[in-house]
Amino acid sequence: MVSEILLVGIGGFIGANLRYLVSGAIPRINEIPAGTLAVNTIGSFVLAALTFTSVEGTLRYMISVGMLGSFTTFSTFAYESFRLLDEGESKHFLMNIGLNLSSCLFAVYLAYIIV
């Protein structure tokens, strides 16, 4: 149990830093927070690929719970979407929601096909 907790923590450290680097490197595109879109799409693909394979045990905890749990960011997506709506950017609000949902579902489907 202790080793699993440590691995989740290590994965969380890695995922949080990757999220910082990836989302910070990608600028907004037409008011859409593309960095958040990118990490959610990448995270959806990696989690689906991991789920559709036979990876088990502590490595799975480290990657799925730890790394991807801190890498993907639904709370940031929700906040950024709300800010767009609050700023009167209704079109960009809907685009952001649609892009996040469709790209993440497509990433899961792509992982399913590949694996």
User: Is position 72 annotated in a ligand binding site?
Assistant: yes
Alpha-carbon distance 87 to 115, whole Å? Answer: 41
Instruction: Note down the domain range covering 38.
Output: 2-114
- The pTM for the full model equals 0.83
Percentage of the residues of the chain whose pLDDT score is greater than 70? 100
* pLDDT score of 39: 95
Domain count for the chain: 1
Alpha-carbon distance 57 to 66, whole Å? Answer: 13
Average pLDDT, the chain: 92
- pLDDT of 106 > 80? The answer is yes
**What would the pLDDT profile of 65-96 be if each residue is shown by its tens digit?**
899 999 998 888 998 999 999 999 999 999 99
User: Is position 53 annotated in a ligand binding site?
Assistant: no
* pLDDT score of 52: 86
Alpha-carbon distance 23 to 39, whole Å? Answer: 7
Alpha-carbon distance 115 to 103, whole Å? Answer: 18
Answer yes or no: are the C-beta atoms of 115 and 49 closer than 8 Å.
yes
Q: Which amino acid does the sequence have at 53? A: T
